[in-house]
Chains A and B, each alone.
Chain A
Amino acid sequence: MSIVERQPPLDATERAAIAELIAHYPTARAAAIDSLKYVQQRRRYVSDGTLHEVAHLLGMSAAELDEVATFYNLIYRKPVGEKVILLCDSISCWITGRDQLAAHIHQRLGIRQGETTADGRFTLLPIVCLGDCDHAPVMMVGDTLHGNVDTAALDAIFQPAESDTP
C-alpha cells in the first residue's frame, strides 16, 4: 500500500496558508471547508491528527470540525488513492450507461464504489450529477472531467497507471 496512514504535523507553509484563508472571512470557521480542502490537496485526505490541528487554527473543537468534515462528500476522512474517480450516477448518466462503466471499472481495476485499488492508484466514489449532462456519461478522475465516456476511454485513462507499475 502506498497510502500514508499517518500524517506529519502541519508545517509553517500550511499554517500560513490556513491563516490566509481565515483572513478572507468575518469568522474563522467560515474558512473550515477551504482549510480542509487545502490540507486534503496536500495530504490527499484529512487524518485525525490533521483535523485536530486545523480545528485549533479555526478556533473550533475537533468534534465541531469533524461534524463539518463528515458532512461533505468531497472531504475525505479516510485514506484514498492517488486519484479519486468520481463516476456520476445521476439520471442522465444512468440512462446513457454508467452502470456498464462501473462494471468495466470493476473488471479492469478490481474496485467497486468506496474501494481503492491494491496499488493505491485509484479510489472509486459515487458522485451526483456533475453538470455536464450533454456529454453523459461523465466522470472526473482527479481534477480532470471526462465526457462521453465509454469502455475504450476508460481503458485509455487507466492504461498509463498500469504501465507505470513494475
Chain B
Amino acid sequence: MSAIPRLPLTRNIRRGAAPFSRAEYEQADGYLAVRDTLGKVEPASLIALIAASGLGGCGGGGFPTGRKWQLMPGKDQRPGPRYLLINADEMEPGTFKDRLLLEGDPHQMIEGIILSAYALQADHAYIFVRGEYLTAIERLNHAIAEAEAAGLIGENILGSGFDLSVQVHGGAGRYICGEETALLNSLEGRRAIPRSKPPFPQVNGLWGCPTIVNNVETICNVPHIVRYGADWYRGLGVNGALGTKIYGVSGRVRNPGTFELPMGTPMRDMIEDHAGGMKDGYRLTAVLPGGASTAFLMAENLDVPMTFADMAKHGTRLGTGTAIVLDDKTCPVGFIANLQQFFARESCGWCAPCRDGLPWVERTLKSIEAGEGRATDLDLLLEMTGNLGPGRTFCALAPGAMASLQSGLQYFGPVFEQHIATKACPWT
C-alpha cells in the first residue's frame, strides 16, 4: 500500500528510465481505482466526483472538466456510439509536459481513460498523439496491449459489463489539430479546420456522435481523484488553488525542465528554486507563462501564483503552465517575430483575417527587426491586434497569436521605436 501522494502525476515517473510495466504499475496500486469502480460505482456519481474535485482542463483553457462531462447527453437520450478523445497533440511552442506523462507513465494515462470512459459511458477512446512523439506512441501501444491482455480494456471489463476499446491515432503535423473541433476533423481524415460551435463536441463530435475531448494531463488526474477523493485533490494546491500541475520552463535558465508542483506555486519559486534561476550572465526580462499564445508577464510580477485566475489579473493566461523565459540578451522584437512566424505558418487558412493577417504581422515585425521598419508600422501592428483579436476570427489561433504582440507593444514600446529610429536591432 503506497502512501497518499502529494504529487500524484509523477509519482511513478523515473526520468531517463523505462516506464512502469503493467505489473509494476499494479504493484504501485495502479488500476485499483478501476477495480474498485467498474460495475460498482454509478457513472453519474463519478462525473459528480470529478465536478466536486474542481479539476480543470490542463490543455490551456482551464474549463472545469466535470462541467464539460455534464454537457454530454446521457446514453438514454442519445443511443449509439460515444467517444472519449484524448488530445495529445502537444504542439504549443515551449510546451513539453504531456510528453513527460505519455512517455513516463503510459498506464496512468490508460487508467485515466478507462475511468473517464466509464463515467461518460463511452465505448471507444482515441488518443490523438502528434506524429513526432514516436516514443510516446510506442509506449502507449505497448501499455494498451498489456492492459488488454489483463482484461482491463476490451469487452466486459473485469466482469462489469462495460466495454471499451482504446486506440492510438498518430497525427501528421499542424498545430491547429490541437483545437478540439479541428482535432475531430483530423481524426475523421479531413483537413484540420475548426468547426463552428455550437454544436459542441459533447453533443455532436466524432462522426456526429457525443464526444468528450480532454487533454492528457487532465485525464491523468482522474485515477487519483477516484482513489483519494475530491477533498484530497482540492487540498493539494496552495494560494487558494486546487490540485497539482505539471509546470515547466525553458529558455536560458540553469535547469530547464518540467516540475509537478502544487497548483498556485508562484512563478518565481519555479524559476529560481526548481529551475535553478537564470544562467550566469543572463537576467530575466519577462516570461510567457504558458506557451506561445500567452501574454508577457514582466519580471516585477514574478511572485504571482501560477493559477488561471492570478495570471488573468496580470493580463495574461496560465495556458499550458510551461513558461518561456525572455532574457536580457534576447531581442523582444525578434522574440515576438519568431512567435508570429509560427502562428502565420500554422494558420489553417480557413478564415481570411488569420490567413492573411498573420503573415502581414510576421513580415512587418521581421522588417522592423532587420532595421527596415517605418514609423507607421507600430500603428499598423496595434491595429492588427484588434483585427485579429477575440471574436474576429473563426477560432482562437489568431487571438492567441496577438497576446504576445499586444503585450509586447505595451511593455517594449521603446524597444520597437529604437529599432525603427536607428534602423537596426540593438541586440545584433
Binding site for B on A (CB under 8 A): 24-27, 29-34, 36-37, 58, 67-68, 71-75, 86, 89-92, 94-96, 126-136, 140, 143, 145
29 chain-A/chain-B pairs, Cβ below 8 angstroms: A27-B207, A30-B187, A32-B189, A33-B171, A33-B172, A34-B169, A68-B190, A72-B171, A73-B174, A74-B131, A74-B171, A75-B172, A90-B93, A91-B94, A91-B335, A91-B342, A92-B93, A92-B324, A95-B324, A95-B326, A95-B330, A95-B335, A129-B342, A130-B132, A132-B96, A133-B94, A134-B96, A145-B132, A145-B134
Given A30-B189, A72-B174: A37 in contact with B346 (beta carbons within 8 A): no
CB atoms of A24 and B250 under 8 A apart: no
Let me know if B305 is at the binding interface, CB within 8 A: no
Q: How far is the CB of B167 from chain A (nearest CB, A)?
A: 6
Given A26-B81, A133-B256: A92 in contact with B250 (beta carbons within 8 A): yes
Tell me the complex Cα distance, A30–B135, Å. Answer: 23
B342 touches which of A29, A67, A90 (Cβ 8 Å): A90
Tell me the complex Cα distance, A136–B93, Å. Answer: 12
Q: Which residue of B lies closest to A24 (CB)?
A: B167
CB atoms of B95 and A74 under 8 A apart: no
Chain A residues with Cβ below 8 Å from B189 are 25, 27, 29-33, 58, 68
CB atoms of B324 and A91 under 8 A apart: yes
Given A31-B189, A33-B189, A95-B252: A131 in contact with B95 (beta carbons within 8 A): yes
The number of A-B residue pairs with CB atoms under 8 Å apart is: 137
Tell me the complex Cα distance, A8–B190, Å. Answer: 26
Let me know if B10 is at the binding interface, CB within 8 A: no
A74 touches which of B172, B250, B292 (Cβ 8 Å): B172
CB interface residues, B 209-259, toward A, < 8 Å: 248, 250-252, 256-258
Tell me the complex Cα distance, A128–B95, Å. Answer: 11
CB atoms of A91 and B174 under 8 A apart: no
Let me know if B173 is at the binding interface, CB within 8 A: yes
CB atoms of B257 and A131 under 8 A apart: no
A128 touches which of B91, B167, B207 (Cβ 8 Å): B91
CB atoms of A136 and B250 under 8 A apart: yes
Let me know if B67 is at the binding interface, CB within 8 A: no
Q: How far is the CB of A47 from chain B (nearest CB, A)?
A: 17
Given A68-B191, A73-B172: A134 in contact with B132 (beta carbons within 8 A): no
CB atoms of B188 and A30 under 8 A apart: yes
Q: Which residue of B lies closest to A132 (CB)?
A: B96
Q: Which residue of B lies closest to A26 (CB)?
A: B207
Chain A residues with Cβ below 8 Å from B326 are 95
Q: How far is the CB of A20 from chain B (nearest CB, A)?
A: 13
A133 touches which of B174, B186, B250 (Cβ 8 Å): B250
Q: How far is the CB of B141 from chain A (nearest CB, A)?
A: 12
Tell me the complex Cα distance, A130–B172, Å. Answer: 13
Tell me the complex Cα distance, A9–B133, Å. Answer: 30
Tell me the complex Cα distance, A27–B188, Å. Answer: 8
Let me know if B99 is at the binding interface, CB within 8 A: yes
B256 touches which of A30, A74, A136 (Cβ 8 Å): A136
CB interface residues, B 261-301, toward A, < 8 Å: 288, 292
Q: 4 nearest interchain CB pairs?
A: A133-B250, A32-B189, A72-B172, A29-B189
Contact bitstring B163-176, A, C-beta under 8 A = 1, else 0: 00001011111110
Contact bitstring B388-423, A, C-beta under 8 A = 1, else 0: 000000000000000000000000000000000000
Chain A residues with Cβ below 8 Å from B335 are 91, 94-95
Let me know if B338 is at the binding interface, CB within 8 A: yes
Tell me the complex Cα distance, A130–B170, Å. Answer: 15
CB atoms of B338 and A133 under 8 A apart: no
Q: Which residue of A lies closest to B348 (CB)?
A: A71
Tell me the complex Cα distance, A130–B133, Å. Answer: 8
Q: How far is the CB of A98 from chain B (nearest CB, A)?
A: 10
Tell me the complex Cα distance, A34–B384, Å. Answer: 38
Q: How far is the CB of A99 from chain B (nearest CB, A)?
A: 10
Q: How far is the CB of A109 from chain B (nearest CB, A)?
A: 21
CB atoms of B93 and A95 under 8 A apart: no
CB atoms of B174 and A134 under 8 A apart: no
Contact bitstring B325-361, A, C-beta under 8 A = 1, else 0: 0110010001100110110011010000000000000
Tell me the complex Cα distance, A135–B15, Å. Answer: 14
Given A30-B189, A33-B186: A129 in contact with B172 (beta carbons within 8 A): no
CB atoms of B173 and A73 under 8 A apart: yes
Q: Which residue of B lies closest to A58 (CB)?
A: B189
Tell me the complex Cα distance, A24–B288, Å. Answer: 40
Q: Which residue of A lies closest to B186 (CB)?
A: A33
Chain A residues with Cβ below 8 Å from B348 are 71
CB interface residues, B 64-83, toward A, < 8 Å: 81
The listed residue with most A CB atoms (<10 A of its CB), out of B135, B190, B335, is B190
Tell me the complex Cα distance, A133–B327, Å. Answer: 16
Chain A residues with Cβ below 8 Å from B258 are 134
Tell me the complex Cα distance, A119–B286, Å. Answer: 45
Let me know if B98 is at the binding interface, CB within 8 A: yes
Q: How far is the CB of A12 from chain B (nearest CB, A)?
A: 24
CB atoms of A86 and B132 under 8 A apart: yes
CB atoms of A129 and B338 under 8 A apart: no
Given A32-B189, A143-B134: A90 in contact with B292 (beta carbons within 8 A): yes
Let me know if B180 is at the binding interface, CB within 8 A: no
Chain B residues with Cβ below 8 Å from A127 are 132
Let me know if B362 is at the binding interface, CB within 8 A: no
B92 touches which of A25, A26, A75, A129 (Cβ 8 Å): A129
